[in-house]
Amino acid sequence: MDSDAVSFSPPDGRRLTQGTLAASGAAATPASRQAEDQMLLEALRGGDEAAFATLVGRYQPSLHRLALTYVHDAAVAQEVVQDTWLGVLKGIDKFEARASLKTWIFRILINRAKTSAEREGRLIPFSDVWNAADDDEPAVDPDRFQSLEGDSQRGWWISPPRAWSVSPEDAALAGETRAYLERAVAALPDSQREVITLRDIEGLSSTEVCNLLQLTETNQRVLLHRARSRVRRALEHYFEQER
């Protein structure tokens, strides 16, 4: 769904006029983004069509990425996102701002994506999700540590993680590296992919993620740790190949 494919037609049928609120190209701090979201919210409730276009432009890629953590078909993900925007339009006047505007939109998306996943038979029971996350898989291969009894350096690194910061910025941002990172995230178990997408890609706080996914802080922390460990191992392997 392109940003201009959504028509801002509120349920009461008002004809909207073109507004003046535009997206900012500058990087925003959390505080400035919250203030800007509040402006967007007020403009949306006032029937500002440009405000809705701004909102779609800002969150459309994130919503599509998040939808794909539940449904693996791109066309179905697009339908989920389209349905999400319709839900935003219908519910904007009832939004009480107890959470951020972004979190509220993400919650609508997750609910609709889970419904689609249930229809496809893809939704995994929570008990199975947690059992899969709380397995005995080590975060780091034990062979990378000193293990001889009595060795004063027992437990120290044999092969420490490579410091990514020493890599040139252009290498870290190269299209091939980004594509490899995306594949590494896509290969994660569903629950881990969901958490790392929300935390590390979309920038939500642990509290927001726990509320969105109905996880305890402990569960969220373990899932995120597992996901980060697997992605880091994948990237270390990639960088070793690139040496």
Domain of 24, CATH number, reads 1.10.1740.10
How many CB atoms neighbour CB 48 within 10 A?
21
Q: Which two tokens stand for residue 18?
A: 């073109």
Q: Specify whether 26 is located in the same domain as 104.
A: yes
pLDDT at 189 over 80: yes
Same domain for 148 and 105, yes or no, is no
Residues 145 and 115 in one domain: no
Shared domain for 112 and 202, answered yes or no, is no
Q: Do residue 215 and residue 106 come from a single domain?
A: no
Q: Which of 94, 120, 146 represents a domain boundary (last residue)?
A: 120
Task: Determine the Cα–Cα distance for residues 204 and 212; give it in Å rounded to an integer.
Answer: 10
Q: Which residue has the tokens 């539940």?
A: 70
pLDDT at 9: 41
The rounded distance, in Å, linking the Cα atoms of 20 and 39 is 12
- In this prediction, residue 117 has a pLDDT band, given cuts at 50, 70 and 90, of confident
CATH of the domain at 136: 1.10.10.10
Look up the domain containing 43 and give its range. 3-120
For residues 90 and 11, the answer to whether their CB atoms sit within 8 Å is: yes
Q: Are residues 153 and 228 in the same domain?
A: yes
Long-range contacts of 124-127 (CB under 8 A, 24+ apart): 124/190, 124/191
Burial of 14 (0-12, 13-18, 19+ CB in 10 A): exposed
133 and 46 in a single domain? The answer is: no
pLDDT of residue 19: 35
For tokens 């800002």, the residue is 58
Start-to-end CA distance of the chain, whole Å, equals 40
**What pLDDT shows up at residue 140?**
57
Question: Residue 84 — pLDDT band, cuts 50, 70, 90?
Answer: very high
Position 133 confidence tier, pLDDT thresholds 50, 70, 90: very low
Domain-terminating residue out of 104, 120, 136: 120
Tally of domains within the chain: 2
pLDDT at residue 145, rounded to an integer: 60
pLDDT-based confidence at residue 208 (cuts at 50, 70, 90): very high
Which residue, of 65, 95, 120, is where some domain finishes? 120
CA angle 33, 207, 108 (to 5 degrees): 70
Model confidence pLDDT, tens digit, residues 40-81? 888 988 888 999 999 999 999 999 999 998 888 899 999 999
Check whether residue 164 and residue 56 sit in a common domain. no
Given a cut of 80, whether residue 242 has pLDDT beyond it is no
Confidence at 233, pLDDT banded by 50, 70, 90: confident
Average pLDDT value for residue range 139-149: 60
| Pairwise pLDDT comparison (173 vs 229), residue with the higher score | 229
pLDDT of residue 17: 34
Do 9 and 59 belong together in one domain? yes
Please tell me whether residues 138 and 236 are part of one structural domain: yes
Question: Which residue's structure tokens are 């276009």?
Answer: 53
Q: What is the pTM of this model?
A: 0.65
Residues 147-163 as b or e (16 or more Cβ within 10 Å = b):
eeeeeeeeeeeeeeeee
Amino acid symbol at 88: V
For residue 136, the tally of other CB atoms under 10 A from its CB is 4
Q: Are residues 15 and 92 in the same domain?
A: yes
Same domain, 11 and 110: yes
Is residue 84 within 8 A of residue 63, CB to CB? The reply is yes
pLDDT score for 82: 96
Residues 175 and 188: their CA atoms lie apart, in Å, by 20
